[in-house]
């Protein structure tokens, strides 16, 4: 009897030890609000629009301590609409991320699966990140708002002397109509941080990248006439970007520059975007942000202003106000704030009040 009791105690201790070395976390976000658009397709609109300030998500992430500083890692994350309950990313269950990998303390981690390419790190430098997706230009052609690669293998280093670096390669396997890279892709980044200063250099190159050309606001793209619904898979999309910020007390001014070259059927054009702005923390709970952006593509130009105010009413819930205004120039060019739809004129204004909850 004593042997059975001892064995039971040993098994219980081992079980508790194993549980202590492993963890699984449920996480997610919900964002919703009322948006006013002064001109979308020639008409004003007021609508309930979700996933704008932060995309809605629901997922699990976990780690298991394998000993000697090695850990097993995983994350599965899906998107959805708060307003109708539908899955996001074209209806994929884990359309945001789905990967598994290993991490080694003091070195870094290797991940395999569907992952964000490294241009998503530009979000960390955006002056008006709290303004949400409206503050990104030309249907996120530079992928700064966060785009994924299927069939990807990545390495992200730990920090060494202020430097971190990462490299990613996505195999050219056809993943169906919802793929973000029908061909091979690679992405790499180098980041340096020292005290209040941080800077980033990143490059991403994708064969078979989806391009929502009809959302640009230009009448032609790569010499082809487009309508509001025009979209295509580019033969190649190559993005090179630089970014930096400096924390000065409550202020954090920042600048980002991206150069995105699109190729299709022998034609090639380049989109260049400069974003300059600052955040200002009035109190730990209240933050304001402002950003101006200039976007140049072929003969078109877009000049944008984004303003945001965010107030934390708890550690996980905040309310916010966003304002965006855009002016376009160039023959046949319309203003087209991301996610608002092209205007029928060269000007467009968007205002929004919303609430966001993280868990």
pLDDT tens, 1-24? 444 444 444 335 434 444 447 899
Rounded distance, CA 203 to CA 206, Å?
A: 10
CB 102 within 8 A of CB 73: yes
> In this structure, are strands 197-206 and 236-246 parallel, antiparallel, or unpaired?
antiparallel
Q: What is the mean pLDDT of residues 25-30?
A: 97
Look at residues 177, 205, 169, 173 and name the one whose alpha carbon lies nearest to residue 89. 177
User: Is 178's pLDDT higher than 70?
Assistant: no
**Token representation of residue 77:** 């994350």
**Token representation of residue 52:** 């704008």
The 3-class SS string of the chain reads: CHHHHHHHHHHHHHHHHHHHCEEEEEEEEEEEEEEEEEEECCEEEEEEEECCCCCCEEEEEEEEEEECCEEEEEEEEEEECCCCCCECHHHCCCCCEEEEEEEECCCEEEEEEEEECHHHHHHHHCCCHHHHHHHCCHHHCCCCCCCEEEEEEEEEECCECCEEEEEEEECCCCCCCCCCCCCCEEEEEEEEEECCEEEEEEEEEECCEEECHHHCCCCEECCEECCCCCCEEECEEEEEEEEEEECECCEEEEEEEEEEEEEECCEEEEEEEEEEEEEEECCCCEEEEEEEEEEEECCEEEEEEEEEEEEECCCCEEEEEEEEEEEEECCCCCCCCCCCCCCCCCEEEEEEEEEEEEC
Residues 6+ apart with CB under 8 A from 13: none
pLDDT of residue 17: 46
pLDDT of residue 106: 94
Confidence category of residue 128, pLDDT binned at 50, 70, 90: confident
Rounded distance, CA 43 to CA 55, Å?
A: 26
pLDDT of residue 347: 98
Give the CA angle between residues 195, 201, 204 to the nearest 5°: 145
**More confident position, 130 or 230:** 230
The whole-model pTM stands at: 0.89
Per-residue pLDDT reduced to its tens digit, 290-349: 999 999 999 999 999 999 999 999 999 999 999 999 999 999 999 999 999 999 999 999
Radius of gyration over alpha carbons of the chain, in Å?
A: 22
% of the chain at pLDDT higher than 70: 92
pLDDT of residue 38: 98
pLDDT of residue 5: 43
pLDDT of residue 15: 44
Please provide the average confidence, as pLDDT, over all residues in the chain: 92
Q: What is the mean pLDDT of residues 159-173?
A: 94
Per-residue pLDDT reduced to its tens digit, 253-296: 999 999 999 999 999 999 999 999 999 999 999 999 999 999 99
CB 312 within 8 A of CB 318: yes
CB 335 within 8 A of CB 327: yes
Per-residue pLDDT reduced to its tens digit, 62-116: 999 999 999 999 999 999 999 999 999 888 899 999 999 999 999 999 999 999 9
pLDDT of residue 152: 96
User: Is 234's pLDDT higher than 50?
Assistant: yes
pLDDT of residue 132: 83
Question: Which domains does the chain possess?
Answer: 24-358 (2.40.160.10)
Confidence category of residue 177, pLDDT binned at 50, 70, 90: low
CB 222 within 8 A of CB 268: yes
Rounded distance, CA 329 to CA 346, Å?
A: 7
Rounded distance, CA 191 to CA 200, Å?
A: 5
**Token representation of residue 242:** 């630089």
Report the sign of the C-alpha dihedral through residues 271, 95, 130, 329, in that order: positive
């Amino acid at each position: 009897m004593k042997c059975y009791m001892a064995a039971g105690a040993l098994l219980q201790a081992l079980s508790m030890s194993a549980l202590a070395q492993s963890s699984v976390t449920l996480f997610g976000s919900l964002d919703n609000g009322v948006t006013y658009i002064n001109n979308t397709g020639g008409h004003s609109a007021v609508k309930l629009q979700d996933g704008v300030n932060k995309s809605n998500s629901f997922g699990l992430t976990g780690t298991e301590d394998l000993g000697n500083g090695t850990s097993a890692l995983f994350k599965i994350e899906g998107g959805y609409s708060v307003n109708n309950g539908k899955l996001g990313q074209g209806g994929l269950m884990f359309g945001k991320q789905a990967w598994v990998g290993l991490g080694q303390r003091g070195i870094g981690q290797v991940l395999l699966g569907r992952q964000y390419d490294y241009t998503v790190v530009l979000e960390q430098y955006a002056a008006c990140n709290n303004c949400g997706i409206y503050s990104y230009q030309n249907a996120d052609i530079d992928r700064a708002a966060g785009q994924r690669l299927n069939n990807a293998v990545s390495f992200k280093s730990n920090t060494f002397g202020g430097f971190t670096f990462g490299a990613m390669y996505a195999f050219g396997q056809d993943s169906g109509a919802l793929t973000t890279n029908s061909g091979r892709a690679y992405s790499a980044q180098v980041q340096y941080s020292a005290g209040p200063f941080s800077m980033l250099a990143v490059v991403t190159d994708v064969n078979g990248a989806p391009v929502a050309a009809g959302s640009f606001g230009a009448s032609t793209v790569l010499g082809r006439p487009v309508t509001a619904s025009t979209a295509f898979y580019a033969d190649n999309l190559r993005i090179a970007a630089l970014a930096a910020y400096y924390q000065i007390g409550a202020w954090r001014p920042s600048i980002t520059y991206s150069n995105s070259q699109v190729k299709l059927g022998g034609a090639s054009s380049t989109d260049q975007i400069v974003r300059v702005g600052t955040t200002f923390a009035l109190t730990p709970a209240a933050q304001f942000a402002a950003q101006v952006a200039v976007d140049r593509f072929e003969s078109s130009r877009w000049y944008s202003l984004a303003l945001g105010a965010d107030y934390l009413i708890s550690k996980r819930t905040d309310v916010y106000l966003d304002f965006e205004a855009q002016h376009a120039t160039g023959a046949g060019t319309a203003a087209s704030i991301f996610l608002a739809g092209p205007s029928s004129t060269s000007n467009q204004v968007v205002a929004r009040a919303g609430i966001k909850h993280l868990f």
